[in-house]
Each structure stands twice: as C-alpha cells, then as structure tokens.
C-alpha cells in the first residue's frame, strides 16, 4: 500500500466549506450550530486519521451523511421507553412502578404550574410539604403522622440518623437484608452514625435475645421485612407484637422497615398476603418505613408513618431537607393515595395492581394472539411457542410466591442454541422500542404480563430481521 497522495489529504473539505452546504444548513436548523460544528470537526479529523492509515477518501456527501447519523445518535434521548417482558413487574432497573394516568396528570400540572407546595391557601401563610399526603397516609395506615422523603433508603437513613446516632439499634441476624443495587441495611446503619446490634442467629431469634441486648445505648428495636428471601426449615422469629411489648417495657421505640408495604390486603385479588403498614401499626410499631414505587404503585419516594412525637422529631432533622421529595412526585403520590379511598377502582387506575392481578387466561390469550406475528418475525431460524410461565412481583415483595403467567418462548434451531438465543435477545433489544425478555435454557423468553401496547409491539416486529445480525 502507498500513502494517499498529499493532494488527496488536502482534498478534505474545510469545516467552513461543509458548513455552507444546504444539507448542513438543515442540520444546523435541527440541532443548533455549536453541536454541528463540533461534529463536523471531529468527523473531518477522523477522516484525516483514516486516510493516513490508507483508508480510502470519501466525498463530501458521505461526510455529511456521517455527520447526520452521528448527530441523530448523539441527540437520541437517553431515557427511552422499553417493553418490560422480563416477568418481573416491579423491575428496579426498568423503573419499578408505572404511575397511572390520574397521577401522571397531577405530576404534569405540578411541573408546569405554580402550586401550593408549601403554602397554606386558606391562611395565606407558609405551609408544610407533607401536609398534602399526611391525612391520606393516616387514614390508610392507622398511624398518627407521616413524613415523605426521596425513597425508602432515605427513610431508613433518616430514622436512624434522627434517633440512633452514636447509639445502637437491635436487629435480628435473620433480617440483615441486602436489597439489589448494593443497599444493605448494615451499611446504611453505619453511614447514619448508628451501631448495629445483631442478635440471634440467621435462622432463629428469640424474645430473650432482644431483652438481653437492651442496654444504656439502645436507641430502638427494629424489624426488617425480609422481602427478597425466605428463611425456611428450623426457624424462629419474634412476632412484631412481642418485639413491640419488649420495646415499650423499656421505653424504646419499635420500628418496622417493610420495604414494599402495600396499602390494601392483596388477598382481595387472590394474591398472597403481604404485610401492610396498618398491620405493623396495629402490632404496636411506633414507626414504619416503606417505598412509594413498589406495591403502592406510586412515584419513587419513601414513607415514614408512626407516632406523632417521633414524626415531629424526624421533621426537625436538618437532613429531612436534603432528602425531601419534589412537587412532581408529591402531586403524583397524593393522586395515587386518593385512589386508595376506593379499593374497587384500584385495579383499574393503578397500573402496578392491574398488572399484578391480570388473569392468567387473559395473558395466555394474548400470547396465542401474538404467536403468529412472532413466528413470522423470527422466520426459519427459530421456533416460537406459547408457554406457561411465572411472573414475580419484584423489588423484594413476595419472593417465594410466583404469579401464574403466559408468554412466548423462541427457541433457535440448530446447534449452539444458547448463543443464538442471546443474539435473538440482543436483536429484540435493538428494536426502536426495545423488548427486554430473558434467555433461559437455550430459548429467548418473553412474559406477556406487562405488555399493554400490543399494537406497537407487533408493528415494530417487521424490523427485527434488519437488526438481527449474523447467525451461526
């Protein structure tokens, strides 16, 4: 190979010259001048470097096309909607609960209008941010008062930081939970300046373990809902009411971290029981913490409900300010809580509950409906079949119980099925509205429980072939 003649290198157009081309004027109109200038510069630089490596010169039109492609890719929104067909309804990496239309509209209004976030309209004076939801939370949990913060991790932190700095909190070893994304109860305890006093063993903790651990430095007794695992076999845990009695005999607060915390009895829809904040308060808890975007089906936030004097102390902690939620989420939370006034409407209006309670036969019927389109989309390379599968609630709720569901398994033909299934999974993720499923036993599996927009799903299948890539 010979070096490209100096003349060819010189033949690269200048940035100014490209900027004067009509197609580039259109790009400037769309993306703004600074971004286009920056892109043209880097594309010319890259082309100059490529030519020094004896890679053929390209003409001006090709450079401009490259520039347009780059700009389109660089300005595509980073947060994009996807189809969550993983079978996990509250998928933390996919954004957990979907809020309903009513809550979304409330959030939109709070975003685009001035609102009485901390303003008492009747009195014309400063108001309290949490006041918008406190009455609802009192009504729905039986607690005396409530505080709302950024998420449940923040709620846990704030409780510890308010009551247990330089003191001890007593927790059973069987409840030292790690939740996905490296949130560990023991770590957050350390960070909030509190000492964790572990008692009992992994599988068994008794009332006397709590009693014996109580000392001068004890700040609280805590129970954590072991939401993402179950300890089975030779086990023993101390019931909430008993821990509450022990705590109160020693003038200590008893706190329950529920994690998910549904505000309704899930049994009414044939789902397994999940403990409610009302249960915990009824059992004598002085404080209960739970998430807004797990089973509650609202925006991301953390709720602390409980005794009025304790909530007042939490509110006075300067860290509350650092952990508070914004007006959008407050509006969405209030709208979501209002829906709980009428449990009969919940399934219709709260997407999380609608998805969790979808009857298996509806999902199976949807799978049968979609099968021909999927079979056609994958062509001769794979077999598609309707399957029974099991969805999970996710985000730690009800770890052992699975919800009967239905989906479609796409099994590549030929050998090396596992890597072919992974490529298929890749291709589905590359669709304009990425489809997120899972690969299991040499098949790509989609659970249809959370598929709402069937028409959109089918419409983009025609593009699957184009993004499918090479085969074995």
Residues in contact with ligand PLP by CB under 6 A are: 151-153, 156, 177, 179, 183, 224-225, 227, 257, 259-260, 291, 302, 395-396
- Cβ closest to ligand PLP, residue 227 vs residue 391: 227
Report, in Å, the least distance between residue 224 CB and ligand PLP. 5
Distance in angstroms (rounded) separating the CA atoms of residues 284 and 292: 22
- In angstroms, the Cα distances linking 8 to 11, 13, 43, 186 are 5, 10, 16, 65
CA nearest neighbour of 12 among 22, 1, 4 = 4
CA nearest neighbour of 298 among 271, 328, 322, 324 = 328
Report, in Å, the least distance between residue 217 CB and ligand PLP. 24
Report, in Å, the least distance between residue 155 CB and ligand PLP. 7
- In angstroms, the Cα distances linking 422 to 81, 303, 418, 447, 449 are 21, 40, 6, 16, 22
Distance in angstroms (rounded) separating the CA atoms of residues 138 and 341: 12
Q: How many helices (H) does the chain have, and how many strands (E)? A: 21, 17
Report, in Å, the least distance between residue 443 CB and ligand PLP. 31
Instruction: Tell me the HSE value of 313 on the side-chain side, using a 13 A CA sphere.
Output: 14
Report, in Å, the least distance between residue 358 CB and ligand PLP. 23
Angle, helix 33-52 to helix 60-75, in steps of 10 degrees: 130
Check residue 172 and give left, alpha or beta (phi > 0: left; psi -120 to 50: alpha): beta
Distance in angstroms (rounded) separating the CA atoms of residues 370 and 23: 42
- Cβ closest to ligand PLP, residue 352 vs residue 366: 352
- Cβ closest to ligand PLP, residue 332 vs residue 439: 332
For residue 272, the tally of other CB atoms under 10 A from its CB is 13
Report, in Å, the least distance between residue 341 CB and ligand PLP. 24
Report, in Å, the least distance between residue 67 CB and ligand PLP. 42
- Cβ closest to ligand PLP, residue 351 vs residue 407: 351
- Cβ closest to ligand PLP, residue 129 vs residue 294: 294
Report, in Å, the least distance between residue 312 CB and ligand PLP. 23
Length of the chain as a residue count: 472
Report, in Å, the least distance between residue 264 CB and ligand PLP. 18
- Cβ closest to ligand PLP, residue 229 vs residue 433: 229
- Cβ closest to ligand PLP, residue 84 vs residue 395: 395
- In angstroms, the Cα distances linking 295 to 255, 330, 395 are 20, 17, 9
Report, in Å, the least distance between residue 338 CB and ligand PLP. 21
Please say whether the beta carbons of 308 and 279 come within 8 A: no
Backbone phi, psi, residue 229, to 5°: -155, 170
- Cβ closest to ligand PLP, residue 186 vs residue 432: 186
CA nearest neighbour of 257 among 283, 287, 284 = 287
Chain position whose Cβ is nearest to ligand PLP? 259
- In angstroms, the Cα distances linking 124 to 119, 165, 227, 367, 441 are 7, 37, 44, 56, 64
- Cβ closest to ligand PLP, residue 92 vs residue 201: 92
Distance in angstroms (rounded) separating the CA atoms of residues 214 and 389: 47
- Cβ closest to ligand PLP, residue 228 vs residue 463: 228
């Amino acid at each position: 190979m010979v070096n490209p003649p100096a003349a060819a290198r010189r033949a690269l157009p200048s940035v100014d010259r490209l900027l004067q081309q009509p197609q580039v004027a259109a790009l400037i109109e769309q993306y703004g001048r600074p971004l286009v200038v920056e892109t043209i510069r880097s594309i010319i630089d890259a082309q100059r470097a490529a030519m020094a490596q004896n890679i053929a010169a390209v003409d001006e039109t090709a450079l401009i096309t490259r520039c347009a492609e780059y700009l389109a890719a660089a300005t595509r929104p980073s947060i994009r909607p996807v189809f969550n067909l993983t079978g996990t309804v509250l998928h933390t990496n996919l954004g957990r609960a979907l809020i309903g239309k009513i809550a979304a509209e409330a959030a939109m209004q709070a975003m685009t209008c001035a609102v009485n976030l901390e303003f008492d309209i009747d009195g014309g004076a400063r108001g309290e941010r949490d006041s918008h939801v406190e009455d609802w939370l009192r009504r729905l949990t039986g607690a005396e008062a409530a505080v709302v913060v950024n998420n449940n991790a923040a709620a846990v932190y704030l409780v510890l930081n308010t009551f247990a700095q330089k003191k001890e909190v007593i927790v059973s070893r069987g409840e030292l939970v790690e939740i996905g994304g490296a949130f560990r109860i023991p770590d957050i305890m350390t960070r909030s300046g509190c000492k964790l006093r572990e008692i009992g063993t992994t599988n068994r903790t008794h009332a006397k373990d709590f009693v014996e651990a109580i000392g001068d430095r004890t700040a609280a007794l805590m129970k954590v809902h072991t939401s993402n695992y179950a300890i089975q076999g030779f086990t023993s845990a101390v019931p909430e009411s008993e821990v509450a009695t022990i705590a109160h005999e020693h003038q200590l607060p008893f706190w329950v971290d529920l994690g998910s915390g549904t505000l309704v009895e899930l049994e009414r829809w044939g789902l397994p029981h999940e403990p409610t904040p009302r249960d915990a308060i009824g059992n004598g808890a002085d404080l209960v913490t739970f998430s807004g975007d797990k089973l509650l089906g609202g925006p991301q936030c953390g709720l602390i409900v409980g005794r009025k004097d304790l909530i007042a102390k939490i509110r006075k902690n300067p860290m509350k300010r650092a952990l508070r939620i914004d007006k959008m989420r407050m509006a969405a939370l209030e709208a979501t809580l209002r829906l709980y006034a009428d449990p009969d409407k919940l399934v219709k209006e709260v997407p999380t509950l609608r998805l969790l309670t979808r009857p298996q036969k509806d999902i199976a019927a949807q799978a049968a409906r979609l099968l021909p389109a999927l079979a056609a989309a994958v062509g001769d390379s794979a077999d598609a079949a309707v399957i029974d599968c099991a969805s999970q609630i996710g985000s730690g709720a009800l770890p052992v119980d699975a919800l009967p569901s239905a989906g479609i398994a796409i099994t590549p033909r030929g050998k090396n099925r596992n890597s072919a299934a992974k490529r298929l999974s890749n291709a589905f993720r590359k669709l304009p509205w990425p489809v997120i499923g899972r690969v299991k036993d040499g098949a790509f599996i989609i659970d249809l429980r959370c598929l709402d927009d069937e028409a959109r799903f089918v419409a983009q299948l025609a593009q699957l072939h184009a993004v499918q890539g090479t085969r074995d």
